[in-house]
């Protein structure tokens, strides 16, 4: 199972508190920018409006100034016309002029300039060097002059000129009351604005404030450059007295004199900055409040996550955690999810450990089994060699012609006993293999226990005698019967007896009994007073190769598959087997429980002739490529006097012989060179009436079946028991 992956490394790790703290800033900043833009646009709009208003106010101021100038020019014209209409009264002009001159009136003085000289019609003309000396310069003209410096209160004059109708070549000169113009400016500008009128030479004619101080002077340098750049416009620049104002200016249509109207610059563009300042203050306040709120929220989040971090190892190791619900839905859900994942992880780990342990156990078992197998193979070869040695020795002895007949008989008995042992060993091996692969088939019939016990006792009698054991058999008087395969059940009992004889010191006592255990069970017991079985060993003795566990029994020989076979066969019969031993050296008892059944019905004995002399001598053909085997079998059969035997060593020879002679029985080895035994049987079937008997090393059920299918009437597994074979040949 994969371990959880560590979180990918990141160059920068953010503190949750800092992140939460950034939230209000992230919220306030765009809002601030938006609001500032809005304020800027609104104040720009306001400034534009204010500028427009200023321009319009200046337009109206210009109109007022123009009207005033026009009116003074018209007044002078009217004076001229009036004087001309009544030219007989020379003083009339003076009288009329007097009504236009004086404080609050258009003119401070009115003169009549004629080619002869200049004459004051009314007021105190400003002292002027040119007055009276060069009046002819203005002869007959109309209009306005620029400011001309003189002495006096006004420091100079601006003159309005009109031709004097009553006297050709003469001109009426009205010296403008500039103070009146200044008052007009002041009343128009009001207290919050400033107005100035310059003449054609950019000299201040009138101002709404401090008129006396600046009349006749030039305005500030910035003012001059503004009006020189544009005929009309708006701009910020200071006045002579240093006041920073926002100005609108334009020139009068006739005189081209600039008229200025100025207002406090702050009123137009400072508004934005004021608003912005307030906005920033508000934003700062909102930010502080937001940060405080973020700190409160962030602290709670951080605590919840810190708690989670502290608890996490416990969730994985299964330690009891002390998590207190944070009250935060997602964090608590995360804890639940982590707890569940931790639980699963622990479970998976436990399962993995268990599986590992099981796998380890299995591996150890497999290794042990493999070792056992190696030892088994060594044991097997040793066990197979054991009977071969006396057989070889006895065969050598038999080759001596001088051997006395008693000695020959002993040799023959040795060979017989040892080859039986060899066959028994091989049978056990084959049976074990069949049992493991489930290929043991039982021929179950009601069988008397007494027959089983007797057959088993008979089978082990030679060993019992050799080891001088006392075999005590207890047979229940009832006809105790089991439903089973007699051959196999004899094998079970004989095996147990064989072991009892093997694992009991010479002169021991071995008991064999079969008693009813209940109405449905028979108890077969084999008890000895031998070496016994320790408690640790007893669970293993029924395993295949059980013997190789202990070195102790090695000395006794055997493959360690006997009890495995016994247990398998007992269980195939639906029975059980158990072992009990009081301990080392105190004997062993095996108890086999088998299902009980009713005794078999006794059949009347059939009349069979057992006298060999009554039966005729049978013609037998033995077909075997192993010449030794063929020759010894022929000798054995012929010695009995009941058989006449021919030999063939190949299938072809056998088939040829069948054509020439008539046989009662033909014994065929299956593994023949050229055509094999099966093929021989198939071909013979059509040529002879003889009984066909297969003799082969292959003894499995399917081998037998195959032989029958090929046409054989009987099947014998090698080494063939001569007695059994002779019995079969007699049939
Ligand atoms: P083998 O006899 O070929 O070794 P078995 O399967 O018959 O194999 O027996 C297995 C083992 O059980 C023997 O090696 C022996 O240790 C033990 N055993 C069997 N029968 C007896 C008995 N009657 N007394 C003591 N030990 C026995």
Residue from 502, 544, 547, 554 whose mutation best tests the ligand 1 pocket (most atoms within 8 A of CB): 547
* pLDDT higher than threshold 90 for residue 497: yes
Q: What is the pTM of this model?
A: 0.47
| Distance in angstroms (rounded) separating the CA atoms of residues 106 and 208 | 17
Residue positions counted in the chain: 731
Confidence bin at 556 (pLDDT 50/70/90): low
The per-residue DSSP string of 588-641 comes to: EEEEEEEEEEPPPPPPPPP-----TTTSPPEEEEEE-S-HHHHHHHHHHHHHTT
* pLDDT higher than threshold 90 for residue 195: yes
pLDDT, tens only, 231-257: 899 988 888 888 888 899 999 988 899
- Tell me the longest C-alpha to C-alpha distance in the chain: 214
Say which residues have a Cβ less than 8 Å from residue 490's Cβ, sequence separation at least 6: 452, 455, 456, 459
Q: Given this model, what pLDDT does residue 373 score? A: 81
Minimal-distance CA residue to ligand 1 atom 19: 499
And the tokens for 729? 């040949």
Q: Given this model, what pLDDT does residue 519 score? A: 83
159 and 200 in contact (C-beta within 8 Å)?
no
| Distance in angstroms (rounded) separating the CA atoms of residues 645 and 669 | 15
| Distance in angstroms (rounded) separating the CA atoms of residues 172 and 177 | 15
729 and 693 in contact (C-beta within 8 Å)?
yes
Say which residues have a Cβ less than 8 Å from residue 645's Cβ, sequence separation at least 6: 620, 621, 622, 633, 634, 637, 638
Ligand 1 atom with least separation from CA of 559: 3
What is the Å distance from ligand 1's center to 387 Cα? Answer: 20
Give SS3 for 151.
coil
pLDDT, tens only, 622-646: 999 888 888 888 888 888 888 899 9
Ligand 1 atom with least separation from CA of 550: 16
> Tokens 């409160």 appear where?
296
Ligand 1 atom with least separation from CA of 547: 14
Q: Given this model, what pLDDT does residue 1 score? A: 44
Cα radius of gyration (the chain)? 73
| Distance in angstroms (rounded) separating the CA atoms of residues 512 and 458 | 12
Identify any residues that bridge with 618 across adjacent strands, giving them in sequence order: 643
Q: What percent of the chain has pLDDT over 90?
A: 32
Minimal-distance CA residue to ligand 1 atom 11: 547
Ligand 1 shell residues, CB under 6 Å: 499-500, 503, 528, 530-533, 541, 546-547, 550, 553, 558-564, 588
Which among 44, 56, 51 has a CA at the least distance from the CA of 234? Answer: 51
Confidence bin at 601 (pLDDT 50/70/90): low
Minimal-distance CA residue to ligand 1 atom 10: 547
User: Which is higher by pLDDT, 266 or 308?
Assistant: 308
Per DSSP, 101 falls in state B
Ligand 1 atom with least separation from CA of 495: 7
pLDDT, tens only, 355-404: 999 999 999 989 988 887 887 787 788 778 878 878 988 888 899 888 88
17 and 295 in contact (C-beta within 8 Å)?
yes
Tell me the average pLDDT across 696-725.
Answer: 82
Which domains can be identified in the chain, with CATH numbers? 67-264 (3.30.450.20), 268-343 (no CATH), 348-429 (1.10.287), 444-595 (3.30.565.10), 615-729 (3.40.50.2300)
Write out the E strands in 193-302: 193-198, 204-207, 233-238, 244-251, 258-264
Minimal-distance CA residue to ligand 1 atom 20: 499
What is the Å distance from ligand 1's center to 601 Cα? Answer: 37
Q: What's the mean per-residue pLDDT of the chain?
A: 84
| Distance in angstroms (rounded) separating the CA atoms of residues 540 and 579 | 11
> Tokens 């207190």 appear where?
324
Residue from 464, 491, 503, 550 whose mutation best tests the ligand 1 pocket (most atoms within 8 A of CB): 503
And the tokens for 475? 């047979």
Q: Given this model, what pLDDT does residue 551 score? A: 46
Residue from 376, 469, 499 whose mutation best tests the ligand 1 pocket (most atoms within 8 A of CB): 499
The per-residue DSSP string of 528-589 comes to: E-SS---TTTTTTTTSTTGGGG-SGGGGG---S-HHHHHHHHHHHTT-EEEEE-SSTTS-EE
| Distance in angstroms (rounded) separating the CA atoms of residues 583 and 570 | 25
């Amino acid at each position: 199972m994969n371990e959880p992956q560590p979180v990918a490394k990141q160059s920068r790790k953010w503190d949750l508190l800092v992140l939460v703290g950034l939230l209000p800033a992230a919220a306030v900043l765009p809002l601030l920018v938006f609001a500032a833009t809005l304020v800027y646009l609104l104040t720009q709009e306001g400034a534009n409006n204010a500028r427009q208003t200023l321009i319009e106010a200046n337009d109206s101021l210009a109109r007022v100034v123009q009207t005033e100038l026009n009116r003074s020019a018209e007044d002078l014209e009217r004076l001229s016309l009036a004087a001309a209409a009544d030219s007989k009264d020379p003083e009339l002009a003076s009288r009329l002029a007097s009504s236009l001159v004086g404080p609050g009136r258009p003119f401070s003085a009115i003169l009549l300039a004629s080619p002869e000289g200049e004459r004051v019609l009314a007021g105190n003309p400003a002292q002027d060097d040119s007055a009276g000396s060069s009046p002819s310069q203005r002869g007959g003209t109309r209009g306005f002059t620029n400011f001309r410096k003189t002495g006096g209160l006004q420091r100079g004059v601006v003159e309005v000129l009109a031709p004097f109708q009553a006297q050709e070549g003469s001109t009426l000169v009205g010296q403008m009351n500039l103070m009146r113009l200044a008052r007009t400016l002041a009343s128009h500008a009001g207290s919050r604005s400033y107005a100035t009128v310059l003449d054609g030479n950019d000299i201040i004619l009138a101002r709404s404030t401090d008129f006396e101080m600046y009349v006749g002077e030039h305005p500030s340098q910035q003012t001059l450059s503004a009006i020189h750049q544009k005929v009309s416009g708006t701009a910020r620049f200071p006045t002579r007295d240093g006041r920073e104002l926002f100005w609108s200016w334009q020139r009068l249509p006739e005189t081209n004199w600039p008229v200025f109207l100025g207002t406090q610059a702050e009123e137009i563009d400072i508004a934005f900055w004021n608003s912005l300042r307030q906005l920033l203050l508000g934003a700062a306040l909102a930010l502080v409040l937001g940060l405080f709120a973020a700190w409160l929220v962030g602290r709670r989040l951080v605590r919840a996550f810190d708690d989670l971090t502290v608890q996490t190892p416990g969730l994985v190791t299964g330690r009891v955690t002390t998590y207190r619900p944070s009250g935060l839905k997602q964090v608590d859900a995360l804890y639940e999810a982590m707890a569940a994942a931790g639980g699963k992880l622990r479970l998976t780990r436990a399962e993995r450990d268990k599986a590992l342990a099981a796998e380890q156990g299995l591996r150890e078992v497999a290794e042990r089994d493999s070792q056992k197998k190696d030892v088994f193979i060594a044991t097997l070869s040793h066990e197979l060699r054991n009977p071969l040695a006396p057989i070889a020795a006895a065969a050598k002895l038999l080759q001596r012609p001088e051997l006395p007949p008693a000695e020959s008989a002993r040799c023959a008995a040795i060979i017989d006993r040892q080859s039986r042992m060899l066959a028994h060993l091989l049978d056990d091996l084959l049976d074990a293999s069949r049992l493991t692969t489930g290929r043991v088939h039982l021929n179950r019939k009601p069988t008397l226990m007494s027959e089983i016990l007797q057959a088993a006792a008979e089978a082990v009698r030679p060993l019992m005698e050799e080891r001088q054991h006392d075999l005590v058999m207890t047979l229940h008087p009832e006809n105790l019967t089991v439903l089973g395969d007699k051959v196999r059940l004899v094998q079970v009992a004989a095996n147990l007896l064989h072991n009892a004889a093997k694992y009991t010191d010479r002169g021991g006592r071995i008991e064999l009994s079969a008693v009813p255990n209940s109405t449905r069970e028979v108890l077969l017991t084999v008890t000895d007073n031998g070496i016994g079985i320790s408690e640790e060993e007893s669970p293993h003795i029924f395993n295949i190769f059980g013997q190789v566990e202990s070195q102790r029994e090695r000395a006794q020989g055997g493959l360690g598959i006997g009890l495995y076979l016994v247990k398998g066969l007992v269980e195939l019969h639906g029975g059980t087997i158990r072992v009990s031993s009081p301990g080392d050296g105190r004997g062993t008892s095996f108890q086999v429980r088998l299902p009980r059944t009713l005794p078999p019905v006794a059949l009347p004995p059939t009349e069979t002739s057992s006298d060999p002399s009554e039966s005729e001598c049978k013609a037998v053909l033995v077909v075997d490529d192993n010449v030794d085997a063929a020759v010894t079998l022929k000798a054995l059969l012929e010695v009995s006097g009941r058989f006449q035997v021919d030999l063939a060593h190949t299938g072809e020879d056998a088939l040829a012989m069948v054509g020439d002679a008539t046989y009662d029985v033909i014994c065929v080895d299956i593994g023949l060179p050229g055509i094999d035994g099966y093929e021989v049987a198939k071909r013979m079937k059509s040529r002879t009436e003889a009984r066909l008997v297969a003799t082969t090393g292959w003894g499995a059920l399917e081998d037998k079946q195959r032989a029958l299918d090929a046409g054989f009437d009987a099947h014998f597994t090698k080494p063939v028991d001569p007695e059994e074979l002779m019995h079969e040949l007699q049939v």
